[in-house]
Amino acid sequence: EAGVTQFPSHSVIEKGQTVTLRCDPISGHDNLYWYRRVMGKEIKFLLHFVKESKQDESGMPNNRFLAERTGGTYSTLKVQPAELEDSGVYFCASSQKQQTGEADTQYFGPGTRLTVL
Amino acid sequence: KNEVEQSPQNLTAQEGEFITINCSYSVGISALHWLQQHPGGGIVSLFMLSSGKKKHGRLIATINIQEKHSSLHITASHPRDSAVYICAAWLSNQFYFGTGTSLTVIP
């Protein structure tokens, strides 16, 4: 069974440009999460999809970030326009259906390393 | 202040040593996750536990809910165990992550 995949693995862009990150979860996983790790800091939650719906987007830093999961399969995270502080590693994770409030084993992708110059 | 604190931040051990990584959290949680990240690689889930102890190979994870503390132990450490180990506490439908412990095992 294929794991969680992310594309691209690395992206280097200039301030003001747009970047779109993609995450393909494990097939059949309803839950999809986006996380970000800024250099030297802990991983931070960005948002959570259940199928195509945004369950929780409380971690999204501002309106320059837009996440979508059309059809409840893969997800994209767009940053427009990118700022220097957006640099970091963006992780995606997926898990099977869970009851509200319960944790489930999350399977992480390899991450996308974003560098904004 | 982060809700989840790990110690130590960095750890160097000789091959064969017994290793302990600690995680403390300041809020009530329903589960705790231990994750492993190899250099340049993705994140792998090692354990998810809500009570007691779990063992997988040379890895053992324990949690004490009353004391809000969890430990990850590695027995007979090996250079391939070198990685960053991260604990993550599940609260209010999301994970709160520690900053990670960077482990280097020297042959």
Nearest Cβ partner of A42 from B31, B45, B97? B97
Buried b (16+ CB within 10 A) or exposed e, B79-95: eebbbbbbbbbbbebbb
pLDDT of residue A12: 97
Structure confidence by residue, pLDDT tens digits, A7-64: 999 999 999 999 999 999 999 999 999 999 998 788 999 999 999 999 889 999 999 9
Positions in chain B short of pLDDT 50: none
Mutation to test the B interface, candidates A5, A37, A43, most B Cβ within 10 Å: A43
Judged against a pLDDT cut of 70, whether residue A103 lies above it is answered with no
CA distance A72 to chain B (A): 19
Q: Which residue of A has its CA nearest to B93?
A: A101
Count how many pairs of residues, chain A against chain B, have C-beta atoms within 8 Å: 60
Q: Taking all residues of chain A, what is their mean pLDDT, rounded to a whole number?
A: 91
Contact A107 B45 (CB under 8 A): yes
Torsion angle of the four alpha carbons B22, A85, B40, B80, in this order, in degrees rounded to the nearest 10: -10
Distance CA A106, CA A93 (A): 6
Q: Which residue of B50, B93, B99 is in closest CB contact with A101?
A: B93
pLDDT at A97 > cutoff 70: no
Share of chain A above pLDDT 70, in %: 93
Question: Confidence class of residue A109 from pLDDT cuts 50, 70 and 90?
Answer: very high
Cα–Cα distance measured from residue A72 to residue A51, given in angstroms and rounded to the nearest whole number: 4
Amino acid A47: pLDDT: 94
pLDDT mean over A79-87: 96
Contacts of B99 in chain A (CB under 8 A): 41-42
Distance CA B106, CA B17 (A): 10
Is any Cβ of chain A less than 8 angstroms from the Cβ of B93?
yes
